[in-house]
Amino acid sequence: MRSLLATTGLGAITAVMTVVPADAETVISTAVTTPQSTSASGDIRISSTGSVKPTTGVGVTLNTNNYVRNEGAIQITGANNSAGVVANAGVSGEITPSWQLVGGFSSQSARIRSRTTAAAAGATVPLVPRSTVSVWNRVQLAPALGAGLGAIRQARMYAAIDNSVTLPAFTRYDGALFLALPYKTRAQLNVENLLDSRYYATSQGNNNIMPGASRTVRLSLSAEF
């Protein structure tokens, strides 16, 4: 039997979180098999007699200014590409009337709880980065011309369940230009991997590692009717 137990380190983002009143807390004191989310339940506390054990996917998603307190168990058994707790934090807004900023942060940790034929107990589930940070800026340079620049930083992750090969962490930069044309027409130029950095995006085992795309340019034209 293969089990997955996951927790997430929230220390990096708790400083920007505001704890809501205690009466907004949802207490799970029995065994539930449906995924939980703070956007639907507010603060979540899993008591010592409670558990969240879905069959796949994410057990608990922290995606609001709330907390998750686990005194019981969060467990997913017999499923790959799953996580017990995923923390998503994001911010967006206007720095100035012509400058928009969007940022995001996610943190997850997935481990094998019980020994299997392929992995020892405590092994990290492959292709699950510990953290991902992204930021995107858009600046309106002129009434008809805008520019965008962003970056994504992904932590290292293992290529396979035996944890013998590591895909390195990477940072990728992307850019864009936006141009408003006559007759409600818009042109957009996107450049992914702006600096043409070499990185490894994913794998299908230790011996089949796939690099990320080199610099990629896309031009699109759209119109409203």
Please provide the DSSP assignment of 154-193 as one string: E--EESSTT--SEEPPEEEEEEEEEEEETTTEEEEEEEES
The predicted pLDDT at position 144 comes to 95
Computed over every residue of the chain, the mean pLDDT equals 81
Question: Do 75 and 59 touch, CB atoms closer than 8 A?
Answer: yes
Give the C-alpha separation, 217 to 194, whole Å.
9
The predicted pLDDT at position 40 comes to 75
Spatial neighbors of 103 by CB under 8 A, at least 6 apart, are 90, 91, 92, 133, 134, 135, 136
Q: Where are the domains of the chain?
A: 126-225
- The pair of structure tokens assigned to 220 is 């699109």
Could you tell me the mean pLDDT of each successive run of 10 residues in the chain, 225 residues long? 38 33 72 84 85 81 75 72 63 77 82 80 88 92 96 95 94 96 94 96 94 96 89
Task: Give the Cβ contact number of residue 209 at 10 Å.
Answer: 15
- The pair of structure tokens assigned to 55 is 């069959």
Please give the helix or strand (H or E) that residue 26 lies within, else none. Answer: strand 25-28
Spatial neighbors of 203 by CB under 8 A, at least 6 apart, are 126, 127, 159, 160, 165, 167, 209, 210
The predicted pLDDT at position 2 comes to 39
Among 190, 185, 182, 88, smallest CA distance to 138 is for 190
Tell how strand 216-223 and strand 185-192 pair up: antiparallel
The predicted pLDDT at position 15 comes to 31
The predicted pLDDT at position 57 comes to 73
